[in-house]
Amino acid sequence: MINEINSVNPSIVPNNKVTGNSKPKDIDNSNSVKNNKKYDSIEINKLIEDNERRINDFKEMIRKMIAKQGEKSNLTLFGQKLNVSVEDSQKATAAIAEGGEYSVDAVATRIMDMAKALSGGDKSKISLLRDAVKRGFEAAGLEFNDGAGLPDICNQTYDEIMKRFDEWEKE
């Protein structure tokens, strides 16, 4: 527990040497009483409360600033309102479309390639890998959209991965 709080006067250096226009350490000034004041728990709690109030006020100011910027948004993602340019929107649409870098087929292929690489091609590991993918998608769904679940493209990707696990198992 804190028994005493002393302020530090950076203008005074050890051995009572004086720097600049500061006074030696032994000269009394109006801050000396304040510097040696012992604080009780009530005063400390008040200081903590004041600090927490300032932090909360600052957070609220930032929240209001972000909300004001959000008024001009055209997309909501993870509860955040965003402004997405037409160009960025077109790029994202192309990336998830058939043949795109994040299409159902492309993502399912990458996940299956990783699963096969991790298992060394050992089919006895399929159940373990399938369960790991299921848990990963479940966890992502809990984190996405306040637990409301994943977008449809993610569900399509999940279905495609499970289909590929079934096909691998039958080989």
Q: Give average pLDDT by consecutive 10-residue segment, the chain, 171 residues.
A: 40 43 45 52 79 76 63 64 74 89 93 90 95 92 74 93 96 90
Q: Could you say which DSSP state residue 77 is in?
A: E
pLDDT at 147: 65
pTM, rounded to two decimals:
0.54
pLDDT at 132: 95
What backbone phi and psi angles, to 5 degrees, belong to 40? -95, 175
pLDDT at 103: 93
Note whether 57 and 63 are within 8 A (CB): no
Continuous segment of H or E residues that includes residue 76: strand 75-77
* Bridge partners (DSSP) listed for residue 13: 17
Note whether 28 and 52 are within 8 A (CB): no
Ordered alpha helix ranges (H), the chain: 32-35, 41-70, 86-96, 104-119, 126-143, 152-170
Side chain identity at residue 89, one-letter code = S
Side chain identity at residue 130, one-letter code = R
